[in-house]
Amino acid sequence: MLFRSSALADEAMEGIEGSNLDKEEKTVFNKIKKGFSLVKEKSIEILKLVRLTEKGFLAPEINKLVEEVDEAALVVIEGIEGLHDQVDKKSLEARQEAERVKRLGIQTTVIISIVGILFGLIAAFLFTRNITKQVGSLVTATRKMAEGDLTVKAIVTTQDEIGELAVSFNQMTEDLQKITVSRDYVDNIVKSMINTLIVVEPDATIQIVNAATCELLGYDENELIGEQIGKIFAEEELLFKSTGLKDLIKKGFIQNVEKTYLSKDGRKIPVLFSCSVMHAPFDSKDQTGKYRNSKIQGIVCVAQDITERKLAEQTLRESEEKFRGVIEQSNDGLYVLQEDRFVFINPRYTEITGFELDEISAEDFDFKELITEEGLKVLEERGAMRKRGENVPGRYVFKGLRKDGQKRDLEVSVTIVEWQGAPATLGVLHDVTDRIQIRTELQKALEDAKQANSVKSLDRKSTRLNSSHIPLSRMPSSA
């Protein structure tokens, strides 16, 4: 039993000696080890003596060994207690260090957690700010686009869904910019229009007027907005009355009709009026091209002040009446020839040629029927001169042919004019048959008179010659 306990103690000693001991602990352990060795050695001697002596443990030499064992054991015990105290101290320090490490770990964990939370908050803030910035950019861009600015762009800073949404928005504005115009652009057009522009509700209430409308009618804009459009029409105009409005909406438009505006001071202003019914976008149409079951947004009305044109037309009518009187009473025949067709003749021209306008303006009528072969030669010669670049007189005489077959000497003066927007030939025709006949007769008479005078002169000369002749029988002879 003793040897077994000794073996266990040796194993314990070896285990302690193999552990990590500091310098002080090793010193104490060496004392313990030395004392233990002494106890072990003395105990073996005691056992040997007990076996050899009859007195056993009562023998004096054994008692001395026992005392030595007790002293060695006391050293061992004291060493063990000292080592135990040191171990307890180290354990305490280890526990304190563990507590410190634990606290430090907790603090570190807390700090790491706080740092992580702060990092997460910062990351979340940055992420949220980035998203908010893009969303704010989209909201701002959407508002500007709603106000008519199609040049606005959303900021694209990420490649996520928000970034894709911003890219799609920018693409949409670019596409809209190609097919639409901005509100400012439209407003500028409306403001700069010379003609009046009025937009009315389906119930004929004025919604929009431009500056030209206010200037023409003498109203301020706020005096017309919200009023019935019938306020600016003369009483006799029924366009925007109940029946007329229904007919307009049904037809869809009115184009270039003369109407009469009524100004603020009561003046009647003639205008050339057009209007069109404005339907909601993307409304469907039927097979005839008309909108079906669609919402009417309004009626756009455009009018041009034609007061000056009316005055010009009145002046022109008066001038035409005066000119017509002059033309109809003229002694010369007047005609207008355009693309080898007569488009105008006066009554005197009919008297000269015997043809009426409906006869000579027919498509199958050839103006050469009015000219003899001799007269055609004159025209051909004039054409040849013109081709050669020679100066062709604007007045000439040719042989004309009346409807009844009579040949007449006609003097014509021609000039190039514009007739109803196209070049034409204006001719002034005068029948000079009698004048040429009289001139021919006078010339013949003069020639006859000259010839008669020539005969009489010869007779007188012959008489004088005969009276101055001396017969030979009367001449004296030479002697």
Q: Label residue 29 exposed, middle or buried (CB < 10 Å: 0-12, 13-18, 19+).
A: buried
Q: In 318-446, where do the E strands start and end?
A: 333-338, 341-345, 395-401, 407-419, 422-431
Lowest average pLDDT, out of 145-159, 223-237, 262-276, 284-298, goes to 284-298
- How high is the pLDDT of residue 220? 92
Residue position matching structure tokens 């439209």: 186
Contact 402, 408 (CB under 8 A): yes
CA–CA distance, 257 with 272 (Å, rounded to integer): 6
pLDDT at 124 over 70: no
The pLDDT of residue 352: 86
Where is average pLDDT lowest: 127-131, 204-208, 266-270? Answer: 127-131
CA nearest neighbour of 341 among 358, 353, 329: 358
Contacts of 158 (CB under 8 A, 6+ apart): 130, 134
The pLDDT assigned to 141 comes to 76
* Per-residue pLDDT tens digits for 140-174: 778 777 776 767 777 776 667 777 777 787 888 77
What's the distance, Cα to Cα, between the start and end of the chain in Å? 244
**How far apart, in whole angstroms, are the C-alpha atoms of residue 283 and residue 296?**
10
Average per-residue pLDDT in the chain? 75
What percent of the chain lies above the pLDDT cut of 90? 5
- Higher-pLDDT residue of 341 and 187 is 341
325 or 230, higher pLDDT: 230
